[in-house]
Amino acid sequence: MGDKKAPPPKKIPGYMNFIFGGTSGMLATSVVQPADLLKTRMQLLGPAGKNMSTITVAKDIIKKEGPLGLYTGISAALFRQATYTTGRLGVFNVLSDNYKSFPVKIGIGVIAGAFGAFVGTPAEVTLIRMTADGRLPPEKKRNYKHVFNALASFPVKIGIGVIAGAFGAFVGTPAEVTLIRMTADGRLPPEKKRNYKHVFNALASMGDGLPLHFTASMISGLITSVASLPVDIVKTRVQNAAKGTGQLTVLMGVIKNEGVLALWNGFIPTYFKIGPHTVLTFIFLEQLNTLYLSL
């Protein structure tokens, strides 16, 4: 009797890419939410906060709102990941499975980022308004109970969120794609491993291990923070405004009243949110993929 053929390797269905993507993003957000809140508060300080450091803002929040104040808006943050990251990683994983070219994967990443930004913008507007609420005087607080209460109370502004999301995807995608490839390398058979030595080797050849994942994510976070913060601060202020305000008007107002460098307000918490969030997301994603394939 001939040897029985080995069963084909188990594959992850397309719909599970969306589920695992959203779940991993939500788990990562649960860790880095304080940094995201600090970023938003610093972007909304205006001229009065010109000389306020990240530590000063954090101490002020804890003093006035307690330690749990750093997690204000967590329901909106999780809902944003359930929409934005689910859409972005799901679309990227489904499409990229059919292409090997690194430049093509970058293009797919931009498309996936724009799609994620579109579906995630309602939750992002909610997140900004909920995280900003604590800095308002009592008579002006919105006092949203949760993300769905906030969603029902205002019209959603989509355009600027899509632009910022697509731009962020463009500048961050090369490093994120590298991280995906490095993360996935650990579950490939020996003959198919890419065996990258470090992140630059991976970028050039397009490793395995947490140090490489962290390095790739922090490079991605640095590039994304520097390049996208000017867009992000405009987006944050527009989405937090009670009435419609033009994006160009907000941009020129920041430069005129606060100086050009104010466009990078919140850089430190942004960087320490984006980098760790990226590596945590893909660590959780890889663990979910491994668990599914082992069942």
Q: What is the CATH number assigned to the segment(s) 14-294?
A: 1.50.40.10
Percent of the chain with pLDDT over 90: 11
Which residues in the chain show pLDDT less than 70?
1-9, 49, 97, 100-102, 105-106, 154-213, 216-217, 242-245
Residue corresponding to tokens 């090369």: 174
Residue 185 phi, psi dihedral angles, 5° rounding: -60, -30
Q: What is the residue extent of each domain of the chain?
A: 14-294
Q: Which residue type does 177 have? A: V
Q: In this predicted structure, what is the pLDDT of residue 206?
A: 47
Q: Is the pTM here over 0.95, yes or no?
A: no
Dihedral (CA of 72, 74, 79, 80) sign: positive
